[in-house]
């Protein structure tokens, strides 16, 4: 069955010469019959209400109520409580300050460079990414050079060295002293909030407003460890010597006690601010909204302080967040407190598309060490001659051979057969020093029956180390990589471990179950094709060198479905103004090739004179398709929309090397246009989706008051344009 896609519609309201007041005149009148009840389940209703408030620093729509936090409420904001029975305005909610500036900074002691200056922040959590590479999680604002006066970004900082623990403020030092171990690595990902919120603005947050960054660690200089330090061993400059906890997973916080480690205040423990967290999801941190939760501490004894930014916040062995900002505040009882805002880690990872594992992919699996097995022991527990030493004792049939598994006495029992020092175990005549499996051998021959001399190099008989290969995530038909002995044969076997389904495979890809042998290069690297079908596979790998086979390394390969080709369809590309103002016509924009559930944003980046950038967001369906509808609602003045509009579409999971999808359409005078194609019967509904499985897209064009994607206004000449999430000021 083909799934239907509910389109989000962008309504352009023309109200020439009316300005904003005239634009709002199109809204339906509300009878003055006392307070109404706001539908907090409707994003449109919530955003429209938030638009009427000024200086919003926090808000939350929970338990059927909308709570708006402002530093000081004006008359319009206070009136919202009179208009709606389930709207509450909380005064005294101030904008928080990020632990940045000269403290713009680094981890459980790390430093950053910002031009000629720099700062210090705290590491959050260490682990490995999906490719098995070492990473550190921290706060996104640590990666930004922020103008102290304007709050604007002036570029990214550069990751520097770790900070010497014994000099850190957490133990009474001045800090900012390098350890001399070298640069930690480089920024792999970073994001600090969204658009800058000017003072007094009524701008609103986006879902992906997070304060989160990933440092790609230079493995040649640092080893990552998954624990969180308790700072008690800082005097020895070894924070890993004693841990507060070992982190094993990421999870949502629970209201109650939380702990934090950071380079300024060390290890601290306080309670989450439950009353605050029940009301607010986003807080304004240094002019940018950040999703998270609050922690309160007694005044003068803060949970965090400048320089703790990025520090890990945890409950037991669960990583729940990194420090974003904080400052003095007043709790619900009027008491002065120190307030910290924590960027919640599970939310940040989801919105950023990043991941972390706390299992070392390079750790060798436990196993027996065959090199220590004694050659004179009876193999497989069979009888051995009394002269053979069992369980690693020295054995001597005709000489004093070393019984350390590198050399073996001729009287050793091999391959599980009975042997005596003076008899051939297979019934053939043999010298007393013959090997038990019938092969002639020197008295010092190896226990596996090979014709090695007593003085031969025993290293050639050692089993090679097991291949080094960790859990991996690849796309269908991608490459699985690992490392083993140079110029050796590696055998890999696999079978579905979970939801993988056997089926038709790509020509170059491995089937859903089987085995393959590949050869390592001179450096020991090897690779092979991954299975063609998406799912999880249980792999086992062994390496054979010098005639011996290693222990097996077991690992899991997760195969993701190959991404669909991204595509943008704009239909029609040219439309007459009279058609553009008809709800059942307009312009249909369909974007394909995204992930199911991914937030996809449409931006109109250029338009007729007077049009500013604006955007709206919708969620991709199961086929990775999302649709937008743009039309005008002021049929009395269609000429207000004349001109060309450039659009671009991006996904929340886009990587840095993925470019936005772009397209355009033009609204023309009736005598110049094509009337919107075929009178709108099929336009943008059956044909406008291209051929990517997005047909049956119902058109849900909305008036100014009914837009599901959000509210906010922007002037287009004399017209009003519906926006998403926040209002942008015109110059």
The pLDDT confidence band at residue 606, using thresholds 50, 70 and 90, is confident
Cα dist. 25→20, 22, 35, 632 in Å? 9, 5, 21, 15
Left (φ > 0), alpha (ψ -120 to 50) or beta: where does 481 sit?
beta
- Distance of alpha carbon 61 from alpha carbon 38, whole angstroms: 10
Is pLDDT of 485 > 70?
Answer: yes
**Residue 704 near residue 634, CB atoms below 8 Å:** no
Helix (H) or strand (E) holding 579: helix 577-580
The full length of the chain comes to 731
- Distance of alpha carbon 93 from alpha carbon 80, whole angstroms: 17
How confident is the model over 663-716, as pLDDT tens digits? 998 989 887 544 333 333 333 333 333 333 332 222 222 222 222 222 222 222
Residue 661 burial (10 A CB sphere; 0-12, 13-18, 19+): buried
Structure tokens that stand for 590 in this block: 């369909």
Report pLDDT for 456. Answer: 38
Identity of the highest mean pLDDT range in 210-224, 430-444, 632-646: 210-224
**Residue 598 near residue 619, CB atoms below 8 Å:** yes
**Residue 640 near residue 678, CB atoms below 8 Å:** no
Q: What count of Cα atoms within 13 Å lies in the side-chain half-sphere of residue 394?
A: 6
DSSP string, 356-385: -B-S-TTPPPP---GGGS-TTSPGGG----
**Residue 617 near residue 600, CB atoms below 8 Å:** yes
Rounded to two decimals, what is the model's pTM?
0.45
- Distance of alpha carbon 613 from alpha carbon 48, whole angstroms: 19
| C-beta atoms surrounding 343 within 10 Å | 32
Please report, to the nearest 10 degrees, the dihedral formed by the alpha carbons of residues 697, 703, 707, 711 taken in order. 150
**Residues near 731 by beta carbon (within 8 Å), at least 6 away in sequence:** none
Helix (H) or strand (E) holding 721: strand 719-722
Is pLDDT of 492 > 90?
Answer: yes
Three-state SS at 387: coil
Give mean pLDDT, residues 560-564: 71
362 prior amide bond cis, ω within 30: no
- Which DSSP state fits 561? P
**Residue 89 near residue 78, CB atoms below 8 Å:** yes
| C-beta atoms surrounding 630 within 10 Å | 27
**Residues near 682 by beta carbon (within 8 Å), at least 6 away in sequence:** none
**Residue 76 near residue 54, CB atoms below 8 Å:** yes
How confident is the model over 289-337, as pLDDT tens digits? 999 999 999 999 999 999 999 999 999 999 999 999 999 999 988 999 9
Report pLDDT for 256. Answer: 95
| Fold observed for domain 97-352 | Thrombin, subunit H (2.40.10)
How confident is the model over 108-119, as pLDDT tens digits? 789 999 877 889
Mean of per-residue pLDDT scores for the chain:
73
- Phi and psi (nearest 5°) for 102? -70, -15
- Distance of alpha carbon 49 from alpha carbon 66, whole angstroms: 9
Please report, to the nearest 10 degrees, the dihedral formed by the alpha carbons of residues 708, 571, 689, 682 taken in order. 100
Is pLDDT of 554 > 90?
Answer: yes
Domains 97-352 and 472-550 share a fold: no
- Distance of alpha carbon 664 from alpha carbon 221, whole angstroms: 49
How confident is the model over 43-101, as pLDDT tens digits? 788 888 888 888 888 888 888 899 999 999 999 999 999 999 999 999 988 877 554 33
Higher-confidence position of 70 and 510: 70
**Residue 215 near residue 135, CB atoms below 8 Å:** yes
**Residue 139 near residue 193, CB atoms below 8 Å:** no
Q: What are the extents of the domains in the chain?
A: 8-13+564-722, 43-91, 97-352, 472-550
Report pLDDT for 365. Answer: 52
The architecture that CATH gives domain 472-550 is Sandwich (2.60)
**Helix residue spans in 17-74 (DSSP H):** 19-24, 43-51
Pairing mode of beta strands 661-668, 574-576? parallel
**Residue 398 near residue 443, CB atoms below 8 Å:** yes
**Residues near 309 by beta carbon (within 8 Å), at least 6 away in sequence:** 98, 99, 100, 103, 104, 105, 121, 122, 138, 139, 141, 142, 262, 322, 323, 324, 325
**Residues near 678 by beta carbon (within 8 Å), at least 6 away in sequence:** none
The residue with tokens 């701008």 is 203
Structure tokens that stand for 553 in this block: 């390394």
Q: Which CATH superfamily is 8-13+564-722 part of?
A: Macroglobulin (MG2) domain (2.60.40.1930)
How confident is the model over 173-198, as pLDDT tens digits? 999 999 888 889 999 999 999 999 88
Report pLDDT for 407. Answer: 35
The residue with tokens 């005709």 is 398
Q: What count of Cα atoms within 13 Å lies in the side-chain half-sphere of residue 67?
A: 18
- Distance of alpha carbon 500 from alpha carbon 559, whole angstroms: 8
Which region among 203-217, 236-250, 456-470 has the lowest average model confidence (pLDDT)? 456-470
């Amino acid at each position: 069955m083909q799934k239907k896609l509910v389109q989000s519609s962008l309504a352009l309201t023309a109200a020439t010469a009316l300005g904003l007041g005239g634009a709002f005149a199109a809204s339906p009148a509300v009878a003055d019959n006392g307070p109404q009840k706001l539908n907090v389940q409707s994003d449109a209703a919530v955003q429209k209400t938030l638009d009427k408030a000024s200086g919003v620093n926090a808000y939350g729509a929970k338990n059927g109520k909308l709570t708006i936090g402002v530093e000081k409420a004006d008359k319009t904001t206070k009136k919202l409580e009179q208009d709606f029975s389930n709207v509450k305005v909380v005064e005294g909610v101030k904008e928080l300050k990020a632990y940045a500036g000269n403290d713009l900074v680094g981890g459980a002691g790390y430093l950053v460079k910002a031009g000629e200056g720099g700062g210090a922040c705290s590491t959050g959590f260490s682990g490995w990414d999906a490719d098995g590479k070492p990473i550190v999680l921290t706060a996104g604002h640590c990666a930004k050079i922020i103008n102290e006066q304007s709050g604007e970004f002036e570029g990214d900082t550069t990751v520097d060295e770790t900070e010497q623990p014994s000099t850190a403020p957490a133990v009474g030092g001045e800090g900012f002293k390098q350890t001399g171990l070298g640069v930690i690595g480089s920024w792999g990902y970073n994001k600090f909030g969204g658009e800058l919120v000017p003072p007094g603005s009524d701008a609103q947050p986006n879902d992906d407003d997070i304060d989160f960054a990933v440092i790609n660690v230079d493995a040649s200089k640092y080893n990552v460890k998954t624990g969180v330090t308790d700072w008690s061993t800082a005097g020895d400059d070894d924070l890993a010597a004693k841990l507060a906890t070992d982190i094993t997973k990421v999870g949502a916080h629970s209201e109650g006690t939380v702990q934090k480690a950071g380079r300024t205040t060390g290890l601290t423990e306080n309670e989450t601010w439950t009353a605050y967290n029940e009301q607010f999801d986003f807080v304004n941190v240094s002019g940018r909204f950040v999703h998270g939760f609050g922690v309160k501490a007694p005044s003068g004894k803060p949970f965090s302080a400048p320089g703790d930014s990025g520090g890990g916040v945890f409950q037991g062995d669960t990583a729940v967040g990194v420090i974003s900002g904080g400052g003095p505040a007043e709790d619900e009882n009027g008491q002065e407190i120190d307030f910290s805002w924590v960027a919640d880690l599970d939310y940040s990872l989801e919105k950023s598309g990043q991941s972390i594992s706390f299992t070392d992919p390079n750790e060798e699996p436990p196993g027996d060490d065959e090199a220590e097995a004694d050659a004179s022991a009876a193999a497989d527990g069979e009888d051995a001659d009394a002269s053979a030493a069992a369980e690693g004792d020295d054995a001597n049939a005709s000489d004093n051979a070393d019984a350390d598994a590198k050399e073996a006495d001729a009287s050793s029992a091999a391959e599980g057969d009975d042997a005596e020092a003076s008899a051939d175990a297979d019934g053939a005549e043999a010298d007393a020093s013959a090997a038990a499996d019938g092969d002639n051998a020197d008295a010092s021959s190896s226990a596996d029956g090979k014709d090695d001399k007593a003085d031969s190099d025993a290293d050639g008989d050692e089993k090679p180390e097991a291949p080094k290969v960790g859990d991996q995530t690849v796309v269908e038909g991608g490459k699985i990589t690992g490392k083993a002995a140079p110029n050796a044969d590696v055998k890999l076997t696999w079978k579905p471990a979970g939801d993988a389904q056997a089926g038709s495979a790509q020509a170059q890809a491995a089937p859903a179950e089987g085995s393959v042998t590949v050869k390592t290069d001179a450096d020991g690297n090897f690779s092979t094709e991954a299975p063609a079908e998406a799912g999880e596979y249980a792999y086992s790998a062994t390496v054979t060198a010098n005639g011996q086979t290693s222990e097996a390394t077991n690992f899991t390969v997760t195969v993701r479905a190959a991404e669909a080709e991204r595509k943008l369809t704009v239909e029609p590309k040219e439309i007459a103004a009279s058609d553009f103002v008809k709800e059942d016509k307009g312009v249909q924009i369909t974007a394909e090739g995204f992930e199911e559930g991914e937030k996809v944003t449409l931006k109109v980046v250029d338009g007729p004179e007077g049009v500013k950038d604006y955007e709206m967001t919708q969620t991709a369906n199961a086929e990775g398709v999302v649709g937008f509808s743009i039309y005008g609602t002021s049929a009395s003045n269609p000429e207000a929309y004349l001109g060309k509009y450039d659009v671009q579409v991006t996904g929340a999971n886009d990587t840095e090397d993925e470019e936005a999808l772009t397209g355009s359409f033009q609204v023309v005078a009736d005598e110049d246009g094509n009337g919107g194609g075929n009178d709108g019967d099929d336009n943008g509904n059956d044909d406008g989706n291209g051929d990517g499985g997005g047909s049956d897209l119902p058109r849900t064009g909305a008036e100014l008051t009914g837009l599901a994607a959000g509210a906010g206004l922007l002037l287009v000449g004399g017209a009003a344009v519906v926006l998403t999430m926040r209002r942008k000021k015109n110059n």
